[in-house]
Structure 1
């Protein structure tokens, strides 16, 4: 059996490889574009954008969560040491 493929005909693997290469180039271009659009914020701009009251509430909730988690971990460790290990 002879190979009658013309140079324009590609195998599925070649098509997939070409497509992945194009996706990679597109992603690199997209990343470069997003980085070029990044601009630093001044402290005045950040103060205007951030809801300080909401941020403080979220931080308090996260502190409470971590405190409870540490307590649970401590209780778990104590339970394991009481089992005779």
Structure 2
């Protein structure tokens, strides 16, 4: 048990942080870490997790918002021309 404690002490948090910071500068290690978390989904899997009705509602709201914003910007441009 004493040997386990010594092994844990030799691998301190500072060592782990130092090792992590060193890998941040290593572009290959950072890229590997990034892509290892990436997962590909096929259309069937996406269809199971995406609420299509809600997505369409959100898209319609964003279209309405952008259309309204565009109209406001045109009105703003007209008022600054005078």
TM-score (norm 1): 0.61
Alpha carbon RMSD of aligned pairs, Å? Answer: 2.4
Mark the CA change 1:38 to 1:68 in structure 2 (over 3 Å): closer, same or farther: same
Higher radius of gyration, 1 or 2: 1
Paired residue secondary structure (1:39): coil
Structure 2 counterpart of 1:49: 49
SS at match of 1:58: helix
CA 1:52–1:32 in 2, change beyond 3 Å: closer, same or farther?
A: same
**Residues 38-72 of structure 1: per-residue CA shift (max 9 Å, x gap):** 22111100111100011011101100110010000
1:11-50 equivalence runs, <5 A: 23-26=21-24, 29=29, 31-50=31-50
Per the TM alignment, residue 23 of structure 1 is displaced from its structure 2 partner at its CA by 1.7
What is the CA-CA distance between 1:30 and the residue it aligns to?
5.2
In structure 1, list runs of 5 or more residues that go unmatched. Answer: 1-18
